[in-house]
Amino acid sequence: MLALGIDNGDGTYTRMYCTPLDDGTYQYTLNVVDSDITLAVGFKGDFDLNGKVNSLDSTKVSRYKVGNFEIDNSASLFIGDIDANKKINSLDSTKISRYKVGTFVVEWDIKK
C-alpha cells in the first residue's frame, strides 16, 4: 500500500486523496500552487523509510512515542500514521504489527 502526501514545509503533510477508476487503478490529482513542493511516496507503515514494512517499523514507532527514537524528516510521520489521524501513536504500531502477520489490512483512504 503506497502513501502519497504533499510536504507543507512546516513538518506536516497533506494527504493526497484518490479517485478509484473502473479499471481497478486510482487517479491522484495534485494542484500545484507553489513550484517548491515535495511529494512523499512510500509504503504505508514503513516508518524508517527503508522500503520494507516489518516488525522494526512497529518497534520504532513505539520507541518514537516514548522519545527513544528520533526521525530526521516528516515523511516518516506521514507514512507511519496508519489510521490517518495526523498522530503517531500506539495504535499505529499495533496496526503495523498486525499488517505484517496478516490480521490487518491497510486500506486506501479514498475521498472525493
List pLDDT tens digits, range 77-100. Answer: 888 888 878 888 899 999 999 988
What is the reported pLDDT for 57? 93
C-alpha cell at 107: 486500506
Domain enclosing residue 25, as ranges: 2-101
11-50 pLDDT, tens per residue?
777 777 777 778 877 777 666 666 666 666 778 888 988 8
The count of domains in the chain is 1
Q: Which of 40, 33, 35 is nearest to 7 (CA)?
A: 40
Domain assignment present for residue 42? The answer is yes
Domain membership of residue 29 (yes or no) is yes
CATH code of the domain containing 10:
1.10.1330.10
In which band, very low, low, confident or very high, does the pLDDT at 2 lie, cut at 50, 70 and 90? Answer: low
- Residue 57 is assigned to a structural domain of this protein: yes
Secondary structure of the chain: what % helix, strand, coil (to 5)? 25, 20, 55
Confirm whether 27 is domain-assigned.
yes
Q: pTM score, two decimals? A: 0.67
Q: Tell me whether residue 112 is in a domain.
A: no
* Residue 75 is assigned to a structural domain of this protein: yes
Please report whether residue 20 resides in a domain: yes
